[in-house]
């Protein structure tokens, strides 16, 4: 890998370098110490180059939690919305060639695979016009949304705190051994990743004791994949509700999310046949019940039929049609899901408590209060997702018949989702104050509860006894919210800039390529007439092709957003899905 990496950057003048690699967390260790072993012409002076490492987004969940946070591409400056999986996506197109070419001779097979790769590159280049334009439409819309969201968060934070937190971010970017400002430092319970690691270790121990490992990965990873798909379904449903005005960029984003979700579900179904043999009959019955005239459900509405959704065996041994121990693995992951959801809900409510206090004490005027209202709306949306996630885990434990083993986990009602006991009254006090100021203030509500009727919600003690008024916890929650909002804003701003620059460079390259082939038309003055004529024709044809492609891309990208939306609706637009 060292040789490949340094060969790839040989001859390039670099100031800033981001490397995405499946095991970047391990490979980067002692990289500079290994470099002197390479030829001198391949070595680089890294005192003049800023280099940062990241994990591809779909490979990151296989790493430890601390490793994921340290190498999260979404927290790396300059990468935009790059996910690092572009080089992996092509394998899904190339893998079918393995079956059709395995009987070929070595040379024939190499030519066959080479043709497949050439075809993929050709299609990628030909569809750059639609691909880049569609991504830019989505990126601009999301960029505006994230800027508004960050401004709403930022306006509720004191300038001194902003400076302190920004200093923490810069210190962490310069040295990843510094405290990570993007993660909470007050830990409430074991994370889901830690629970999965424990389960995987237990599986490995069972394998060493004579139990046969199942092809296709681990049962823990299978259950984790199902839970992640459920999360993606909830996020997609929330995305569909997020805009009352359906724009083209919103529709494009929706279709992209649905395609990505459908691919995950297809992979899950393949593993489901291994770990849940009985699921095939349940899926077939559900398909028959749907009827031939009913349209298939959208990916966000597909039932996964996890072990907790399977019929229970009559002998009380657990869900039918599942491999031994699978229900217990889901049980432990669902418990972690519920506990982490409660912890996150409490953090969100803490953040809301801080903002209410800040608003009531400091903010006046329509502009400031409007931004705060947007922030409250955003936090409310996030809390709804967390609540939905908890209820999903709770129902799964209920169907598994295991709720009695976890008395701290209860049915989460809407009235349980309340800010710490004084928070609601801070809001009420503010409304009363406005009403007393005279004239235009809010009229006091007749339903305002008395302070003697305060009841503390069970969610504040679900993870053990803790001080809900702890200033450190509150400070920690707000720092994480602010830092993550800043990172999301910065990445989308970078994504817009990267796409616009890529469009500019694409046009410049096509101009250069057309000029290059025109200059080659008369390059062979030593060739005989027939050969020279053929070479000239080929060079001019290639130049014309580059110029025509440049004209097509330029006219497409010169359209305004309304025209782009209409054109994207009228054509399917093959997105290569490969990263540029």
12 and 116 co-located in one domain = no
The answer to whether residues 82 and 579 touch, using CB atoms and an 8 Å cutoff, is: yes
Last residue of a domain, one of 107, 126, 145: 126
**pLDDT on residue 397:** 93
Domain count, the chain: 4
Q: How confident is the model at residue 386 (pLDDT cuts 50, 70, 90)?
A: very high
259 and 400 co-located in one domain = yes
187 found inside a domain? no
pTM score of the predicted model: 0.60
The answer to whether residues 73 and 20 touch, using CB atoms and an 8 Å cutoff, is: yes
The answer to whether residues 442 and 435 touch, using CB atoms and an 8 Å cutoff, is: yes
What is the DSSP annotation of 81-131? T--S-HHHHHHHHHHHHHHHHTTS-HHHHHHHHHHHHHHHHHHHHHTHHHH
Rounded to an integer, the average pLDDT of 455-476 is: 57
Question: CB atoms < 10 A from the CB of 461, how many?
Answer: 12
> Which H or E run includes 20?
strand 16-20
108 and 59 co-located in one domain = no
504 and 553 co-located in one domain = yes
265 found inside a domain? yes
248 and 379 co-located in one domain = yes
507 and 399 co-located in one domain = no
Rounded Cα–Cα distance for residues 164 and 513 (Å): 50
Rounded to an integer, the average pLDDT of 104-121 is: 91
The candidate with the shortest Cα–Cα distance to 156, out of 374, 384, 349, 347, is: 374
359 found inside a domain? yes
111 and 233 co-located in one domain = no
The answer to whether residues 356 and 424 touch, using CB atoms and an 8 Å cutoff, is: no
**pLDDT on residue 390:** 94
482 pLDDT higher than 80: yes
89 and 45 co-located in one domain = no
425 found inside a domain? no
244 and 325 co-located in one domain = yes
**pLDDT on residue 300:** 92
Rounded Cα–Cα distance for residues 517 and 312 (Å): 70
Q: How confident is the model at residue 192 (pLDDT cuts 50, 70, 90)?
A: low
Torsion of Cα atoms, 337 then 339 then 344 then 348, to 10°: 130
Enumerate residues 6+ apart whose C-beta is below 8 A from 520: 535, 539
98 pLDDT higher than 70: yes
Q: How confident is the model at residue 398 (pLDDT cuts 50, 70, 90)?
A: very high
40 and 93 co-located in one domain = no
What integer best gives the mean pLDDT of the chain? Answer: 80
Give me the helices (H) in 363-416, please: 366-400
First and final C-alpha spacing in the chain: 21
Chain centroid to Cα 311, Å, comes to: 33
The candidate with the shortest Cα–Cα distance to 343, out of 464, 181, 182, is: 464
477 found inside a domain? no
Residue range(s) defining the domain that contains residue 494: 485-570
329 found inside a domain? yes
| pLDDT tens track for 306-345 | 999 998 887 777 788 898 889 999 999 999 999 889 888 8
Cα 507 to Cα 125, 137, 511, 550, distances in angstroms: 12, 18, 6, 6
Last residue of a domain, one of 465, 496, 527: 465
Rounded Cα–Cα distance for residues 193 and 64 (Å): 7
**Which of 241-255, 420-434, 501-515 has maximum average pLDDT?**
501-515
The answer to whether residues 275 and 322 touch, using CB atoms and an 8 Å cutoff, is: yes
507 found inside a domain? yes
**pLDDT on residue 268:** 93
**pLDDT on residue 527:** 80
410 found inside a domain? yes
Chain centroid to Cα 502, Å, comes to: 22
349 and 393 co-located in one domain = yes
**pLDDT on residue 366:** 65
Q: How confident is the model at residue 228 (pLDDT cuts 50, 70, 90)?
A: very high
41 and 99 co-located in one domain = no
Rounded to an integer, the average pLDDT of 174-200 is: 72
């Amino acid at each position: 890998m060292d040789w490949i990496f340094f060969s790839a950057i040989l001859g390039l003048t670099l100031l800033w370098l981001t490397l995405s690699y499946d095991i970047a967390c391990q490979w980067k260790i002692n990289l500079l110490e290994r470099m002197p072993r390479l030829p001198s012409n391949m070595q680089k002076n890294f005192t003049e180059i800023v280099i940062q490492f990241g994990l591809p987004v779909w490979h990151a969940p296989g790493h430890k939690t601390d490793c994921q946070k340290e190498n999260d591409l979404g927290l790396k400056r300059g990468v935009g919305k790059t996910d690092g999986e572009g080089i992996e996506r092509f394998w899904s197109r190339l893998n079918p060639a393995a079956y059709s070419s395995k009987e070929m001779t070595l040379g024939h097979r190499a030519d066959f695979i080479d043709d497949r790769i050439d075809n993929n590159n050709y299609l990628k280049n030909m569809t750059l016009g639609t691909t880049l334009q569609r991504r830019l439409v989505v990126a601009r819309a999301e960029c505006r949304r994230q800027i508004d969201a960050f401004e709403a968060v930022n306006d509720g934070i004191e300038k001194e705190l902003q400076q302190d937190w920004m200093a923490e971010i810069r210190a962490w970017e310069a040295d990843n051994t510094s405290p990570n400002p993007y993660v909470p430092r007050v830990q409430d319970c074991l994370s889901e990743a830690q629970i999965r690691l424990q389960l995987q270790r237990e599986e490995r121990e069972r394998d060493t004791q004579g139990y046969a490992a199942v092809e296709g990965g681990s049962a823990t990873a299978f259950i984790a994949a199902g839970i992640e798909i459920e999360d993606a379904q909830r996020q997609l449903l929330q995305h569909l509700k997020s805009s009352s005005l359906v724009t083209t960029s919103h529709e494009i984003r929706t279709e992209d999310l649905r395609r990505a979700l459908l691919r995950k579900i297809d992979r899950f179904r393949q593993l489901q046949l291994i770990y849940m043999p009985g699921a095939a009959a349940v899926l077939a019955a559900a398909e028959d019940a749907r009827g031939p005239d009913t349209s298939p459900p959208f990916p966000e509405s597909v039932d996964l039929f996890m072990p907790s959704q399977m019929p229970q065996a009559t002998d009380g041994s657990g869900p039918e049609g599942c491999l031994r121990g699978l229900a217990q693995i889901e049980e432990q992951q669902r418990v972690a899901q519920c506990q982490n959801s409660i912890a996150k809900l409490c953090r969100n409510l803490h953040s809301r408590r801080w903002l209410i206090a800040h608003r009531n004490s400091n903010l006046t005027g329509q502009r400031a209060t409007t931004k705060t209202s947007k922030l409250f709306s955003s936090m409310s949306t996030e809390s709804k997702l967390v609540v939905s996630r908890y209820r999903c885990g709770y129902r799964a434990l209920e169907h598994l018949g295991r709720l009695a083993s976890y008395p701290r986990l209860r049915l989460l009602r809407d009235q349980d989702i309340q800010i710490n006991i004084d928070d609601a009254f801070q809001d009420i006090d503010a409304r009363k104050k406005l009403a007393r100021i005279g004239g235009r203030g809010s009229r006091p509500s007749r339903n305002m509860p008395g302070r003697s009727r305060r009841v503390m919600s069970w969610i504040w003690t679900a993870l053990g006894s803790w001080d809900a008024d702890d200033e450190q916890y509150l400070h920690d929650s707000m720092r994480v919210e602010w830092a993550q909002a800043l990172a999301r804003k910065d990445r989308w701003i970078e994504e817009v800039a990267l796409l616009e620059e890529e469009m500019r460079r694409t046009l410049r390259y096509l101009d250069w390529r057309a000029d290059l082939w025109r200059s080659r038309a008369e390059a062979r003055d030593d060739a005989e007439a027939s050969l020279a004529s053929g070479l000239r024709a080929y060079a001019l044809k290639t130049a014309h092709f580059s110029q025509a492609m440049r004209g097509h891309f330029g006219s497409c990208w010169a359209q305004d957003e309304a025209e782009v939306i209409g054109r994207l609706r009228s054509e399917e637009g093959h997105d290569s899905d490969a990263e540029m």
